[in-house]
Structure 1
């Protein structure tokens, strides 16, 4: 459309400037993308893509920390397993001494000499158990084990928690329910329970029952009142370790476990001695139980380490896939962007040249006035 000659509004120059400004903006965006390697440098570049990429990036960072947690826990468990291996070797030597002492062809002096080494080995077990730590966290001294307190009612001789094999014991208030032939132990805090076959203890007798799924062992004497079992209660305070192995706040992202008490007391060896025949014979059975407990702990540690290895591997695989997704959304295609750069470089240069031509249109008016 012809616009005639005027000097107040140079429409051609204005249109040329608008095209030039657009090309200049696109050129700057292209340079920014090529210099950063990112297609999305601000939310306005791709609102939806920026939101998705940010969400995935946060997920990756969380998974990286969870993976680090898994690897550090493997290191912690390896520290505990190394000490348990040493304790196992000591127990094997102590059993040799017990077998040696459990013979009538030794005199009192001989047994006293054997018992001297036996007691020193018990002390070394305590030293190892109490000094084994990771990042100032005691591992096998019993501090990882749930504790029992506030035992009420009569007839409960003792309550002990699962000290070995990694079983987690839940905190809570526990009570009993009795039906002829069976006894039910209930965690009133969590609602979990277990029923075992039950026969009351006779006079002078102590009977021990294992509530395996709850991780508890309870011993009763003849005074246990079957008519008022609800009055027999105790409290359990759980300790142990919790490891965040996932990126979410749910049960599947946490690993809970306990490590057993590997002290002489925790292995029920604190009172054992070889200074007499009966003590030596009893020590053999006690040492067998202690060795089995250590084996349970080592088996649990090995199984947990293997699980955490797979956990770390899975996290690594997920991180790689998420980073690939982020790259697809956010990273620039250099070949395509280089083509865009060349395009807008040409448009900016040609636009600049056309601006000169458009500005010269107004000069035609002066030429007309001079004629």
Structure 2
């Protein structure tokens, strides 16, 4: 647990943070948000003593961080920044294992954790031998996330890590870090200036205003009950309107038993199924109905032949889980332009699909009220 007790940070000419108190539970994903100069980055940097508090106490698992060696403290806390910070003269493996090397881990243990983590961010093990300049910006950012996890720190600090990325890469990395955080039960403190990012990622959001804590609550409660006009302004009218929609899971609006094809089938069989079901896209699954990808009629048309296996030409599929809230699906479909989203269960099995039409119906019924005769 991280606990701030009456903490302030005072510089010569201004107070950056003034007498704030709050607790972060183990395994929580906390987003800290506010306008420029609100104190959000100061709060995060005080946790690992990159910035030291002027008064009050910060406790980690009941221990005052000011009583710990700052270098030792920082090695126990992962840190990801927007500029990525990969060392260009080191291989990806050396970058990932930088802190474990400082902690004197043996080579076998370092190699094992590096191979395990690079797979978690969907990059091949062979990339461990590459240098940062050989990777794209999005791939480098994935390595930055991995590096923060390599020493198995329980707390990860992230300072606007995806701000410089394009929207599609950013969305993919948001989903990735959230999934890894849940799987590995890490406590994440994530600074952002993007309210949509905070609403999508956070278990709770800490909203800062001129060094004061304006509100600290779940996304749902903040949307339904913004504390003041400042919070309303950060949320924006679009998000406030969306708050009127149901916070039920997408199971309540998804279409069950979507059209799918086994990865071992041929493209000829895929075309026949598309024609029979009158669809232009098929989800690809394995023998256990686990979602593996997606294939569309245009990919088949470009191929020029029908004797290839579906698994050889399928694309990755952006999916959501059956516990995803409707408001998150709205964000993906309406704001990021996905036409439909496959829904998977906790084992990755395909259980449904959320379409643009079903999202539009939900917005209409909940915001307008369903009186469609006017």
TM-score above 0.5, yes or no:
no
Judging by fraction of residues, say which structure has more strand.
2
Q: With structure 2 as the length reference, what TM-score do the two structures score?
A: 0.23
Q: With structure 1 as the length reference, what TM-score do the two structures score?
A: 0.23
Larger radius of gyration: 1
